[in-house]
A = this chain, B = another copy of it.
Amino acid sequence: MTLTNNTFTGEYAYSLDSKGRINIPAKFRQSLSDDNEGTFVIARGMDSCIWVYPLIQWKEIESNLRNLSSLSKINRTFVRNTARYASPSTYDKQGRIILTPSLIDYAGLDKEVLIVGMVNKIEIWDPATLAETDQQNMEIDPAAYDELAKQIIL
């Protein structure tokens, strides 16, 4: 049983091989709707991780970027920073996508890797980096956190 299409939950410990390939958990692939043509787009995450979008999800972002006028400097910077590290990756017969050296470096990935479902996208983390990030997030304002929870959780 899978959740709604293009919805990802759960955490998986997988490994990155010497060719920069990483397996996408079977459950995630099964959740991916056919119009994605087995393709994800990998990009820099806002934390020190890699964001993996289903293709059609990325196309929305792409469309937003396309509408930004290049006459404004901040727009050019934003488009550059976003597009620069993004690249499509179709999984092979074994269900693996290829990560770029640039993104592997950005996320500080070694062989052991954590794959985290983020509902509409997927995150790829170095285990130690994620643990550190968890620690730092303890400092988030508990009241604001609770307020958010109230709106979301039933």
A residues near B (Cβ < 8 Å) are: 1-4, 7-11, 27, 37-39, 41, 46-47, 53, 55, 57-62, 64-66, 68, 70-71, 73-80, 82-90, 100, 102, 116-121, 123, 137, 140-141, 144-145, 148-149, 151-154
Q: Are A154 and B61 in contact (CB under 8 A)?
A: yes
| Bound CA span A151–B100, Å | 26
Interface of A is mostly: mixed
Q: Are B154 and A120 in contact (CB under 8 A)?
A: yes
Q: Which residue of B lies closest to A123 (CB)?
A: B80
Q: Which residue of B lies closest to A87 (CB)?
A: B10
Query: Which of B46, B66, B141 contacts A76, CB < 8 Å?
Result: B46
Q: Are B149 and A62 in contact (CB under 8 A)?
A: no
CB neighbours of A65 from chain B (8 A):
119, 152
Q: Are A83 and B1 in contact (CB under 8 A)?
A: no
| Bound CA span A39–B4, Å | 12
Q: Are A88 and B3 in contact (CB under 8 A)?
A: yes
| Bound CA span A96–B77, Å | 27
CB neighbours of A53 from chain B (8 A):
154
Q: Are B10 and A74 in contact (CB under 8 A)?
A: no
| Bound CA span A4–B60, Å | 11
Q: Which residue of B lies closest to A78 (CB)?
A: B148
Q: Which residue of B lies closest to A144 (CB)?
A: B74
